[in-house]
Amino acid sequence: MRFLGHPIHPMLVHFPIALWTVAAGAYVASAAGVNEPVAMIAKLANIGGLIMAMVAMFAGMLELRSIDSKSEAMRIATWHMMIMATVWLCFLAALMLSILSGIDHSRAQVAAAACAVAGFLLMGVGGWYGGRLVYEFGVAVKDRT
């Protein structure tokens, strides 16, 4: 799937990466007791990341059609998708826990921060697999004719 000749999935992934990076840091700061606005920043950045990730995942699924189903690239793409879906679930869990915790410094806030940090770390692994798809296999780069 392309827009003005450029693949859409790589254009979109920067948004959840940036938003979830902010969210993970804000969740940790909130769990450490920084202040109430930081907890709101964590939630809002996370919500934005969850929404933009859904858009990026949709574009990625459309891009998936260009990969030979029996290739090594498809195996890597499958790992990329599974890991990034797990990242999405980690951040969804962080959001749900942060909503449950309110503004007090409860175990739910610490659990939300732990989920966000786990999601952040897994996002790096999933991104590495995505990078392999582009730089090693030329997905969305090479002319497939």
**How do residues 17-76 score in pLDDT, each as one tens digit?**
999 999 999 999 999 988 889 999 999 999 999 999 999 999 999 989 889 999 999 999
Average model confidence (pLDDT) across the chain: 91
CB 34 within 8 A of CB 42: no
Per the DSSP assignment, residues forming a β-bridge with 3 are 6
pLDDT at 5 > cutoff 90 = no
Q: Is residue 141 part of a domain?
A: no
Tell me whether residue 142 is in a domain. no
Domain assignment of residue 125, yes or no: yes
In this structure, is residue 57 part of a structural domain?
yes
* Token pair 């890991």 in the structure block, residue: 83
Asked if residue 74 is part of any domain, the answer here is yes
Per the structure, the complete domain to which residue 90 belongs is given by 2-135
Q: Is residue 140 part of a domain?
A: no
Residue at 98 is within a domain:
yes
Q: How many domains does the chain have?
A: 1
Residue at 20 is within a domain: yes
Q: What is the mean predicted confidence (pLDDT) over 3-20?
A: 90
* CA pair distance 21, 89, nearest whole angstrom: 15
